[in-house]
Amino acid sequence: MPEKDVEWERLVNDIRNCTRCPLHRFRKKPVPGEGSLDSAVMFLGEAPGRSEDEAGRPFVGAAGRLLNELLNLAGLDRGEVFITNVVKCRPPNNRDPRSEEVAACSVHTNRIIGLVRPRVIVTLGNHAGRYIFERFSKMRWLGIKAMRGRVYRLNVLNDSVVVIATYHPAAALYNPQLKGELEEDFKVLLRRAIKLGSTLKQPTLLDFMGR
Ligand code: URA
């Protein structure tokens, strides 16, 4: 089995056995994430909901159906991207994840990012946006309205990564006005981000030796 698959199995197992935060007590199934481990594009959502908790897979409910449509707008297929969340277990009654839960789960989040090493990260919603920007840049997270519409370049775990921040698909289900903006972000911005991401030079072993 390729080394990446072995590490992914280890990671899934660690998430299954994780008791770092109270959310493990409420979950039916943890939701580590899914997709291609070689994907250039990673989507980071918030937390599993009821359908995801039952399936053990991310974005399989109503928000997931919209995400699939949005992916098509960007010319992407679900199987060629990687999708995960800032917390891997469902919060009770779908409440927002707490900052200490996001922090506890960051061990897994960062291992996933470090394994896939995407060139583009798309944050969906405030929790994912805050996590990436506050953890991997000196920028303060100012909310989606202020942060969206731009392509950022951040250093994420020693890789130069193109980041875009957009709304959570669930927000567009409640507020159809946001749907147009989300579609625009996928159709225009994400396509631009993927192009830019493919030109980024990633550090090689020689770069590390020269440091
Ligand atoms: N919302 C999320 O943020 N993640 C999921 O996996 C499903 C719904």
Ligand 1 atom at minimal distance to the Cα of residue 58: 6
State in Å: Cα 95 to ligand 1 middle: 12
State in Å: Cα 54 to ligand 1 middle: 12
Is 63's C-beta closer than 6 angstroms to any atom of ligand 1? yes
Determine contact, residues 58/31, Cβ cutoff 8 Å. Answer: yes
Amino acid 1: pLDDT: 84
Helix, strand or coil for residue 159?
strand
Is 97's C-beta closer than 6 angstroms to any atom of ligand 1? no
Superfamily for the 3-197 domain: Uracil-DNA glycosylase-like domain (3.40.470.10)
Bridge partners for 121 per DSSP: 42, 163
Is 45's C-beta closer than 6 angstroms to any atom of ligand 1? yes
What is the layout of strands, in order, in the sheet containing 34-35? 34-35, 82-85, 41-45, 120-124, 159-166, 152-156
Ligand 1 atom at minimal distance to the Cα of residue 45: 3
State in Å: Cα 208 to ligand 1 middle: 36
Amino acid 63: pLDDT: 97
Q: How many CB atoms lie within 10 A of CB 84?
A: 24
Is 47's C-beta closer than 6 angstroms to any atom of ligand 1? yes
Is 85's C-beta closer than 6 angstroms to any atom of ligand 1? yes
State in Å: Cα 139 to ligand 1 middle: 25
Distance CA 16, CA 13 (A): 5
Is 197's C-beta closer than 6 angstroms to any atom of ligand 1? no
Distance CA 186, CA 184 (A): 5
Return averaged pLDDT per consecutive 10 residues of the chain, 211 residues in all.
95 98 97 98 98 98 97 96 98 97 98 98 98 97 97 97 98 94 96 93 63 48
- The angle subtended at Cα 29 by Cα 86 and Cα 17, nearest 5°, is 80
Determine contact, residues 94/46, Cβ cutoff 8 Å. Answer: no
User: What residue ranges do the domains of the chain occupy?
Assistant: 3-197
Mark out the alpha helices in the chain (DSSP H runs): 3-16, 50-55, 62-73, 99-116, 126-136, 144-147, 169-174, 176-184, 191-199, 205-210
